[in-house]
């Protein structure tokens, strides 16, 4: 039973699932590396900032925390890239983790757009 508003959010639940994924997917002998420690901090930051943002009253305050959570999710994706390049995890594990992160980032962008008065440009393909 969800008691707090953040617990009702799918993005919050997915961020907890990502933490479980990290704990399951990264071999324990790899958890002593600085990249894993950074991944651990960043993935912990995602649900914490979602929860804090959900508790704020103004759209600007909410967006600030959702932006931080989004940044932490992107940082997690970079950590996964590093772990894969260092052959500490397989490509399949990296892809699985990044798929979860893609969902999280997409949902956070939706929360940011729905909570803010920011002006957004429609997606346009720029030619170089």
Q: Is the pLDDT of residue 93 over 80?
A: yes
Q: How confident is the model at residue 78 (pLDDT cuts 50, 70, 90)?
A: very high
The upper half-sphere exposure of residue 56, i.e. CA atoms within 13 Å in the direction of its Cβ, equals: 18
- Per the structure, the count of domains in the chain is 1
* Chain position carrying tokens 């994924």: 21
| pLDDT greater at residue 125 or residue 113 | 113
pLDDT at position 21: 96
* 2 pLDDT more than 90: no
Give domain status of residue 22, yes or no: yes
Q: What residue numbers bound the domain in which 98 lies?
A: 8-115
Q: What percentage of the chain exceeds 70 in pLDDT?
A: 92
Instruction: Spell out a b/e string for 51-60, using b for 16 or more CB atoms within 10 Å of the CB, else e.
Output: bbbbeeeeee
In a domain, residue 2? The reply is no
Residue 120 has pLDDT above 70, yes or no: no
Is the residue at 123 inside a domain? no
Whether 60 is covered by a domain: the verdict is: yes
Residue 42, pLDDT above cutoff 90: yes
- pLDDT of 119 strictly over 60: no
For residue 65, the domain's CATH number is 1.20.1440.60
């Amino acid at each position: 039973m969800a008691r707090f508003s953040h617990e009702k959010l799918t993005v919050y639940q997915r961020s907890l699932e990502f933490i479980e994924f990290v704990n399951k997917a990264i071999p324990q002998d790899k958890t002593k590396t600085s990249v894993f420690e950074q991944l651990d901090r960043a993935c912990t930051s995602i649900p914490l900032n979602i929860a804090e943002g959900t508790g704020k009253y103004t759209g600007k305050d909410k967006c600030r925390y959702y932006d931080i959570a989004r940044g932490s999710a992107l940082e997690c994706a970079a950590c996964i890239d590093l772990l894969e390049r260092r052959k500490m995890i397989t490509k399949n594990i990296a892809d699985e983790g990044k798929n979860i992160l893609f969902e999280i980032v997409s949902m956070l962008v939706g929360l940011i757009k729905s909570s803010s008065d920011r002006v957004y440009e429609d997606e346009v393909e720029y030619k170089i």
